[in-house]
Amino acid sequence: MDNAFKDVPPTTLADLLGRAQVMDTGIRPLWNSPRVAGPAYTVRCEPGDNLMLHAAIYRAEPGSVIVVESGDVDYALAGGNVCAVAQRRGVAAFVVDGVIRDLGEVREAGFPVFSRGVIPIPGTKKKIGALGEPARVGGVLVHPGDIVVADEEGIVVTPAARREEILAAARTKLAKEAEESLDAWEANHRARIDKALSDQGFTG
């Protein structure tokens, strides 16, 4: 079921779920990675410390998207080796509200990372945070098992309880859009825009 979300663009999910489930624009793909989709494995790291993310790579199920709350952009949460081990263990991607390092290695390995950027200095490994508890990432409260879909268009989180409902609605929406020609879309669009202008008293 979760793999089916790989066929659904974040734009479609955002239309269905609204702004509250879309992460802010500061968390971006660090290289031109393909779309990723999978259940969230949630992590909370203390500022300046990456211990819990490093613990998570050995605990997350294959196919998981490790989602990290850190509140810190001064120290890297992970580097090339951590990303390589996560990839080898089947983790689908990292989505981190923070920064990483060794971007060249990560890009060469082809491991998808969505973050606020890169910095060359690593964090410490001294502070206990949390694994498998709700984490606020990019302004979205993510619960374990929520479906994370991420690509160059952005990152959208589908609540686990709405997974089947949203997937069905997304498939219906995409099928309808695929059947509509650009000419038909333009005609409908123009009619909607003209009505919106008219409703506001615009006559130009």
Q: What is the pLDDT along the chain (204 residues), one digit of tens a residue?
A: 567 999 999 999 999 999 999 999 999 999 999 999 999 999 999 999 999 999 999 999 999 999 999 989 999 999 999 999 999 999 999 999 999 999 999 999 999 999 999 999 999 999 999 999 999 999 999 999 999 999 999 999 999 999 999 999 999 999 999 999 999 999 999 999 999 999 999 988
Region of residue 14 (phi > 0: left; psi between -120 and 50: alpha; otherwise: beta) = alpha
Whole-model pTM: value is: 0.94
3-state SS assignment for residue 193: helix
Backbone angles phi, psi at 191, to 5 degrees: -65, -40
Residue 146: how many CA atoms within 13 Å on its side-chain side?
25
Region of residue 139 (phi > 0: left; psi between -120 and 50: alpha; otherwise: beta) = left
Q: Exposure of 117 by Cβ count < 10 A (0-12 exposed, 13-18 middle, 19+ buried)?
A: middle
Q: For residue 114, give every residue at least 6 positions away whose Cβ sits within 8 Å of its Cβ, in sequence order, or none.
A: 27, 28, 29, 30, 93, 94, 95, 96, 150, 155
Nearest Cα residue to 46 out of 98, 114, 118: 98
For residue 51, the model assigns a pLDDT of: 98
For residue 3, the model assigns a pLDDT of: 79
3-state SS assignment for residue 145: coil
